[in-house]
Structure 1
Amino acid sequence: MHGKGPSTVPVLIVGGGPAGAAAAITLARGGVEAYLVDRHAGPHDGVCGGFLGWDALAELRDLGVDAFALGARPVGYLRLFAGGHRVEFALPYRAAGLSRRVLDEALIGLAGKAGAVLLRGRTVRAADPVRRSIRFDDGEEWSGAALLLATGKHELRGLARDLHGRKETPSAGLRAQLPVDASRSRDLAGTIELHLFDRGYAGLLLQEDGTTNLCLAVAHERLAAGVVGLMKEIMVEAPRLAERMKGAIPPHFDAIAGVPYGWRTGTTSPGIFRIGDQGAVIASLAGDGIAMALNSGVSAAQALLDHGPEAAADWQRRMHRRNFRPVAVAEALRHGAKGTVGRDVLMRLLRWMPALGVQAAQLTRISARRTGGRKSGARSAPGPG
């Protein structure tokens, strides 16, 4: 939808990722006309995401999305590499790997079918929290009785996250796609793999089309040598990652800077719901970002349906409390893995007591819900793989 539209609508949702789409679906099914604005005109990949934990699968199922029918690859194990250490253990419940390109498109399509008004390919340049309004790149302005901010890790002028007082410099996120490779597919089948290195980590996960999603989270200062220089350094520090990559640096990376891992907000402006990463940013190694996005989108929409725009402040406080444990545990793991000593201690603990890894996987979930698959036992696998 382009050109002039209504100046005021019932609900505006800025951002068509999992949080925004889940909110649009819930509101539309509740009889509220929601306008979902997304800057992408069609299918696209996101810098972050791809891993769906058991709680994310449950959230999707409730919305009417079967991730496995979309081609998601089942994931039952987590494998960790750090220096010369290798530990593997079974996840407590079945998870999955699915590209954001496929997942986001399925959710946006479902929002449209439910009755949400989709405004795709339109970029929002700024917002006015007092008027609950947004300004598009063509200068057109719209306002809503309620505004749901779901721009992910991207900031929106006028509603940027309050990072004052934060001591740590935000991190950078990088993503590349590794081509289909028979040996890599065999080694990664049923597994999500994390490679820990100095001030960062990389994750490898098979996608529905057989390609491998490579995501990295690194301290911003490590990008001083550029992406290629960084990758050369990392491939020396993480030789098993270099093996998985066949010693080749991907020609293209998607990137996002200024990722404030560990940030949460308990405050908002009247009538504005901050959902997904705009409400809390969990370290990506926890693998619960998509679940938190879906959960917050549905929860905010339900609060809006039940109590109207004035529910925003109370809802944001409740989400701040609810996000505390998973974000705090993920931050403890992220900071513990930053340096050589911390990584060594972490890997030795997991080798000796792999049940600790299972417990950490459960503690970093926003919800204890699962899809009903068989609960796995934990095991350690310190041998070569």
Structure 2
Amino acid sequence: MNGHRTEELVIVGGGLAGASAACILGREGRSVLLLERDVGARHKVCGEFLSVEAQTYLARLGIDLDALGASRISHLRLYHRGKKAEAELPFLARGLSRKILDEALLEKAISHGAQIMRGVTVRSITADERASWVDAGSLGRVRAETLFLASGKHDVRGAKRPISGSINDLIGFKMHYRLSEQQRTALDGAIEVILFDEGYAGLQLIEGGVANLCLVVSQRGFEQAGKSWDSLVNQVTRECPPVADRLRNAIALFERPFSIFQIPYGFVHHPDWTEPGGLFRLGDQMGVIPSFTGEGMSMALHSGYIAASMFLRNGRASTDFHRKMAANVRQQIRLAFLLNKAARFGPGQAVLFHLCRTWPSLMRQVAAFTRIRVGSIHKTAALS
């Protein structure tokens, strides 16, 4: 074909999964082209909670969280109807915005020789056993000998995820706030999870003492709340007075909240014999864990790390990667999926909160059971 370019390795998406894979492949001297649709750093809908597993991967990639100003989080507070249950986390977590972290990873990938092209929107993908063809808009058609698809929750035509069986009527929102000094001090060191009718929210500090409010609600719940961000926040603060205290006199840092629709929680990619070789699905293209677990960022980094490591060892055998990755995350996503269904509605929320308040150690166990297993991380390290 005329008018196309051929690349050894192409990564679609410069988020945590794509950027981490680019870092590893570039570090090993491989020719990497990463296509990112955003022209510059931007915020994304995300809880911005870094578990100990995520921190492990970032440290191996040379990312200094202290230098980036990440907050420290050691406690979990669970609220329901104004009542509180609290427990110490089984690890020290960190809080850092995706805008800062994603850019740090992309800069690290560039330092390892990866080529980053920004402002490129991938319109479609076609693949066979020999290569993948990427329609990259203004860039033209790119022939990728191996393709890493890390487009997050956004599907690309020709490579859409089969998401049947997942929860896909959810809407995610994110807003950053500058809290009063008193409320910032009260929140410091904790992540607060709030159960409200038809959804839940998480509130924590990130860099610079900024508070991130990340909220997930069903489409029906959003409509019942008045179909606006302000009315939804008013509902949450009415149901949970402590959150009303946090946000009193707070300054919203965005003109409007960031949002994403139809999040396919519970999705896990299962390869079959029709799947072309040499197309690796990373991050949310591989599996989507409910956000209240705080493990989404870790799973994205895990997928980028293990995909790059397995490619360096086994070449284009992407099916082997998908099977291994599914085995690593299937149980965690399944447990979080069931808890997410319970946490959406009043009766389930009441039972869940009662159990957590009666046995605070249950919150620690849930936090532990929805994590990537330490053994999986060690095995991944052995591959690279």
Query: What CA distance in whole angstroms lies between the structure 1 residues aligned with 2:227 and 2:147?
Result: 37
Alignment partner of 2:288 out of 254, 265, 281: 281
Distance 1:139 1:54, change over 3 A: closer
- 1:71 deviates by 0.5
| 1:12 alignment counterpart | 10
The within-5 A match list for 1:173-184 is: 173-184=172-183
Structure 1 residues 36 and 49: CA distance shift in structure 2, 3 A: farther
Query: Within 5 A, what are the aligned runs for 1:161-176?
Result: 161-164=161-164, 166=165, 168-176=167-175
Q: Which residue of 2 aligns with 1:27?
A: 25
Q: Please tell me whether residue 270 in structure 1 is matched to residue 270 in structure 2.
A: no
User: CA separation of 1:161/1:73 partners in 2, compared to 1, >3 Å: closer, same or farther?
Assistant: same
- Aligned-partner residue type, residue 37 of structure 1: L
Alignment partner of 1:295 is 2:302: yes
| Equivalent residue number for residue 82 of structure 1 | 80
**Could you tell me how far apart the structure 2 residues matched to 1:157 and 1:112 are?**
28
| Deviation for aligned residue 1:259 | 0.5
AA partner of residue 268 (structure 2): R
**Which is worse superposed, 154-163 or 245-254?**
245-254
Contact conserved, 2:4 with 2:140, CA < 8 A, in 1? no
Mapped to 2, the partners of 1:238 and 1:185 lie a distance apart of 17
In the superposition, relative to structure 1, how do residues 248 and 210 fare at CA in structure 2: closer, same or farther (>3 Å)?
A: closer
User: How far apart, CA to CA, are the structure 2 residues paired with 1:258 and 1:270?
Assistant: 29
Work out the CA distance in 1 between the residues paired with 2:212 and 2:276: 37
The code of the aligned residue for 1:150 comes to A
2: distance between equivalents of 1:167 and 1:206?
A: 30
Partner of 2:62: 64
Using the alignment, how far apart are the partners of 2:146 and 2:183 within structure 1? Answer: 47
Corresponding residue of 2:213: 214
Distance 1:27 1:46, change over 3 A: same
SS of structure 2 residue aligned to 1:159: coil
Query: What pairs with 1:117-132 in structure 2 (closer than 5 Å)?
Result: 117-130=115-128, 131-132=131-132
Find the aligned partners of 2:136 and 2:4 in 1 and give their Cα distance.
13
Task: Indicate if the aligned counterparts of 2:194 and 2:202 stay in contact, CA closer than 8 A.
Answer: yes
Identity level (%): 37
How far apart are the structure 1 equivalents of 2:89 and 2:216? Answer: 22
Of stretches 128-137 and 110-119 in structure 1, the one that deviates more from structure 2 is 128-137
Q: CA deviation at 1:136?
A: 2.0
Give the deviation of 1:180 after TM superposition: 4.2
Residue 151 of structure 2 corresponds to 151
- The structural deviation recorded for 1:301 is 0.6
Separation in structure 2 between the aligned mates of residue 291 and residue 167 of structure 1, nearest angstrom: 20
Report the Cα offset of residue 139 of structure 1.
6.2
Pick one of 257, 260, 267 that aligns with 1:256.
Answer: 260
Q: CA deviation at 1:78?
A: 0.7
Q: Which stretch of structure 1 is more off in the superposition, 144-153 or 222-231? A: 222-231
**For residue 380 of structure 2, what is the aligned residue in structure 1?**
none
Q: Is the 8 A contact 1:49 1:100 kept in 2?
A: no
Q: How does 1:297-376 map to 2 (within 5 A)?
A: 297-309=304-316, 311-368=317-374
Which structure 2 segments of 5+ residues have no match?
Answer: 378-384
User: 1:379 maps to what in 2?
Assistant: none
Q: CA deviation at 1:137?
A: 2.7
Whichever residue aligns with residue 62 of structure 1, its letter is R
- TM-score, structure 1 normalization: 0.90
Query: Corresponding residue for 1:240?
Result: 242
User: Do the aligned partners of 1:55 and 1:370 also contact (CA within 8 Å) in 2?
Assistant: no
Cα-to-partner distance string for 1:212-254 (whole Å, 9 max, x where unaligned): 1111111122232322333333332333222222177954111
Q: What's the CA shift string for 1:300-354, capped at 9, x where partnerless?
A: 0111111111x10111012112111211221122122122222222122112211
TM-score, normalised with respect to structure 2: 0.90
The match for 2:194 is: 195
Change (3 A) 1:106 1:247: same
Q: What's the offset of the Cα at 1:297?
A: 0.2
For structure 1, which runs of at least 5 residues remain unmatched after alignment?
A: 372-385
| Cα distance in 1 for residues equivalent to 2:375 and 2:356 | 25
The residue number in structure 1 matching 2:48 is 50
Query: How many residues are paired up?
Result: 366
Shift in alpha-carbon separation, 1:235–1:78, aligned structure 2, 3 A: same
Output the CA distance in 1 between the equivalents of 2:156 and 2:244. Answer: 36
Structure 1 residues 160, 105: CA separation in 2 closer, same or farther (over 3 Å shift)? Answer: same
- Separation in 2, partners of 1:70, 1:124: 30
Q: RMSD between aligned alpha carbons?
A: 2.1
**SS across alignment from 1:282:** coil
Displacement of 1:162 in angstroms is 0.8
Distance in structure 2 (CA, Å) of the matches to 1:317 and 1:305: 17
Q: What is the deviation of 1:6?
A: 6.4
